[in-house]
Structures are given as C-alpha cells and as structure tokens.
Amino acid sequence: MMGTKMKRDNKNSTSIHRPWQRGLLASAVLAASVSVPQIASAEEDWLTKDWEVSGYIRQYLSWNLENPTLIGPDGEQRDDYRYDLSMARTVGKLDLYRDFGNWRTKITGRISRESPTDYGKDLQDVMDEWAATGGAAGSSVNLRDDVYDDEELREFWVQGDLTDSTNIKVGRQQVVWGETDFFQLLDVVHGYDFRWRSFLEPENEELRKPLNMVNLTQQFYDLDGSLQVLYIPGKLNDGEDRGNSYDVEGGRWANNPNKGITFASAPFGANVKYNYDHPDADMDDDSFGLRWSGLAGDWGYSVGWFRGPNPNPVVNPNPATNPGQPQLQTGPYEGVYEGGATEAGEFIYPFIDVFGVTANNYFAGPDLVFSTELAYIPNAPYNVGIESIAEGPGCGFFPGFCGIEEKKLFRSMFRIDKQLDLQDVLGTSRPSFFTVQLFNNWITDYEKEEQLVNLAGFGGETEEFSSIITAVLATNYANDQINPSLAIGSDLTYGGGFVIPAVELAYGDHIRVRLEADIFFHEKDQERPLQGFNDTNLFGYFSGNDQLLARLTYQF
C-alpha cells in the first residue's frame, strides 16, 4: 500500500520543483533528443566537448483487461471499464556523462507527463466525491499533478580514485545490493515508487528512488575482496524519497477495492497521513551500510549490514480514534503517536537493521548458475489486529490498526539461472535464458495470538512461514529482433499468482517496442471499500488490475 509525493520547495531536495528548473530540464531533454549530432560535433564548445549524451523518449499505453472495482459513496459501481485506456504516459530521460581520467561525473534528468483518459477522469471524480463525504480538509489529491506527472534529477554524482585501491562516489545515485530482481531482501538501500506501474516495470532503475549519499569502496587485492561503505545523510534527502511508495492516493494501482479513495482524505475520520518525523521513524536520521564482497574459491559472496527505514510503511494508529475497544497489542510505539487528533493513524517507516549474505557459483556439470540471498531483520515491524471495529472485536477502523509489533524475520531466496537450448523445439535463433526463484519468509518468534497482518487495511493474517516462487523464460528470434518472454509466479502460502507474457521488438539501434499482458490470480479479494474485510492477501490486492501494455521507446 502506501506512498505519496509531496511537491514542495526544499533547499536540500534534488527534485526539481521550481518553474524555471522544470523548463530547463524539459528543454535539455528535448534538445538532446533532436540535436545529439550537433552536440557531438561541437568541438569548439568547451562546455559540451567530450560529454557522452544518451537517453530516450518513451510512450506508455495500457488498457484494462477486466473491470476494476470503482465504487462511489453511493455504493454503486461506476461504469464498466473493461478494455478502456487506463494509462497514456510520456517520459523523457537525458543522461550526460563525462570521464576526466581519474574522475567521472554523470547527470540524469527525467520528465514524466500523463494525458487524461476517461477512466482516469472517473477515478478523480470518485475521489472528489469520497473526500466530500467527510474527508479531512485540504487533503484532496489531484492524481495527475500530485502523483503521475513528475520531473526529477535522477543522478548527479562525481566519482573518482582517492588512491590506487580507494574509490569514492558522492552525490545522487543508486546502489544495488543482492541477487534478485523481484522482491527486496538485501536490496533495501533505496525505496521504490510503485504508484504508476506497480512492480511490473522490467528495469528496476526506473522505479528505484535515488538518494544523495557518500559511497566509498576500498579494494583489498590480497584478500580478493572489497569493502563498500555507505553514508546517507537524512537531512539531504526528502522524506518521500525514502522507503517504498504504494498507491494510497486511489489511483489505477490502488489496492482493490480502494480505487478512487485516498487514505489521506478517507471519510468519517478514518484518514491516514504520512509522518516523516516520528521519533522512531525520523527521515532526518542518517542511514549507514557496510558490504564486503569477495571470492572464496569458485564462489562469489557478500556479507552486508544496512540500517535505514523499513522498505514498507506501517500504520501507527491513533489511540484517540479507537475508543471502547481493548487493544490486542500496542507494541513499542504505544503512546508515541504524532499525527492529527482526528486521524485514524499515520504511515511511518520505522528504522530497521538488515544483516545479509549472498553467494553465487557456476556449476559446469548441469551448466547452471546457482545463487542465494539470506537476510535477517531482528526488528521487522508488523501491524496487528485481523478485525476492525465494524467486523468484530477489533480495535481500529481497519484490520491492522491495533498497533505495531517488532518481530525477528529471516528471509531467503534461492535461484537457478540456466541457458536452455530450445532452437530445435521453438525455433529460436540462440539458446534461451531460464531462471527460477524461490522466496521464503520465516518469523522466528511467531505467536499466532498477536494477529499479525500482511498489510494494514486488509485482514490477511501473516503465517509463520510463507513462500513465493517465480520463473522467467526469455527467448530470441530473428537475431534478437524479436524477443518473447514469459514470467509466472505463485504464492505457495496465501494463494494466487501472476502470468506475464511479453515480447520486445528491436528496430535498429534506436526503436524498441514492448507488448505485455499482466494477468493476476487470487483466492480472495475484498469487494467493497471500507467494509467487508476478509483474509485478502498479496495477489488479492491486484484484483481487477489485469491489463495490456504497449511501450514504445526511441533511445539515443
């Protein structure tokens, strides 16, 4: 769930909010896309000489393959949106890179703009209706202006060699840890923005939130390893740039059935807002990371530790708006509520410690690569309470609003990558890539009576052990001009899964077309907003979100 973008001027922010800055970045992206040859040939221009210029112009279009739940305050479903256009998004990205020898620098800017669709207009209209029934004053959201349209400085760093064995990289950047591309185990340095595309974008760097940081790497050649040290100053990064952002604004990727309802302006005093200054979740606090990477025989491995915000926000409920019901568990945050007096609670990102190990190796006999990722979190926050006041002996407006418990969580991932010779079977032009990944969660101090929930606002109870398996097959035809793929996943504990068939078409050096269908399966879902809570879990949140996507990219 969770995530909001607060557009504000901040002297420490690297997002571009002022009108002249937006215009400058837009002009730069446009100029680069139409006049790269002129820039490259301007040898007499000292400012542009020797800069490497690249980027893309990209158009997204998506259509609903089923009818999303969109219910207004009158309790009626608004129209049938099956096959309606759900997204028309245009993105421009510009990369400037220059190598000065021992020092290098890179600047990346990205602009995103959405065109109105009939479905999007109805989402906005229903949201305005819900806010008018009793939502908090001043908390309404304009989906296009506040969520989807964006201009951002994605990278702005300088990197260089302090010594023959010491490298430093300072500025706005992305750091990728771990061995997996799907779910976050050790890749917790950054949050992700899942509001406009959920987890489906194939390039993680498009969803990952960059941060201003100091990134130091010390090589130890005699030990076949290196030590990476990260320092992320909290006050030099905006609060909304930390942790994962989910669609709680009621947009097209809001968890079913909450489309058209923003948590910040939910009616009847049930609204929930973000608090980036909570004493145990203060985004002004600094974050730190250490990671040793090395070789042990044929094995590549890493050992790491990171302290920073929990990737997913949890709800810190307001005791004043939960009268007359005994709280099941209040946890370590009892009495530390910082939000407004009339709100049901606040979204916070408690700081956690993540300890992890990764390993990988190639085995010549079966001709495959095995990799694993193990993470231990001694203070993982969970919301508690599987029932709401309206549904039973609950203690809050929604499931999970009984408080927060910190649990000892062990997470693991095991992966096999293999090249499959399917040329005689499928007629591919070269061997195909196949990968399968198994993800596991184990709460080592699990107690069923605590009633942990997987997501606040939904009644799905967390199990002591849970697993998800995913697999991807990527094939190639016509000398890599036609590249079909199939991704599947299954929730082995809570039920449901996904199937994503896709094809990527390459035309020369510049044009790429991706066609993709996103199809979800679930065992249970919630049919009515703000009522009828049941044990809905991960893939039930995506009910009604089956879609077809077309993505056209011109890269330069």
Measured CA distances, 219 to 161, 171, 228, 361 (Å) = 11, 21, 9, 21
Q: Give yes or no for a contact between 489 and 469, defined as CB atoms under 8 angstroms apart.
A: yes
Q: Give yes or no for a contact between 186 and 177, defined as CB atoms under 8 angstroms apart.
A: yes
Residues contacting residue 545 through CB under 8 Å, at least 6 positions apart: 66, 68, 198, 252, 253, 256, 518, 520
Per run of 10 residues, the mean pLDDT along the chain (length 556 residues) is 38 38 40 42 58 97 96 91 97 96 96 97 91 66 93 97 97 92 87 93 94 98 97 97 93 93 68 88 96 96 97 88 50 64 84 97 96 97 82 74 93 97 95 97 95 92 97 97 97 97 97 98 88 90 96 98
Across 53-90, b (16+ Cβ under 10 Å) vs e yields bebbbbebbbbbbbebbbbbbeeeebeebeebebbebe
Q: Which of 165, 151, 160, 150 is nearest to 105 (CA)?
A: 160
Residues contacting residue 35 through CB under 8 Å, at least 6 positions apart: none
Residue 12, SS3? coil
DSSP states along 297-332? TTEEEEEEEEEEE-SS-EEEE-GGGSTTS--S--GG
Residue-level pLDDT at 269: 59
Give dist(CA 213, CA 205) in Å, integer. 17
Residue-level pLDDT at 5: 36
Residues contacting residue 121 through CB under 8 Å, at least 6 positions apart: none
Q: Which residue has the tokens 């990952």?
A: 208
Residues contacting residue 423 through CB under 8 Å, at least 6 positions apart: 429, 430, 431
Give dist(CA 150, CA 7) in Å, integer. 10
Give the chain's domains with CATH numbers.
Answer: 19-555 (2.40.160.10)
397, two tokens: 């407006």
Q: Give yes or no for a contact between 468 and 439, defined as CB atoms under 8 angstroms apart.
A: yes
Q: Which of 266, 39, 301 is nearest to 179 (CA)?
A: 301
> Which residues are registered as beta bridge partners of 383?
404
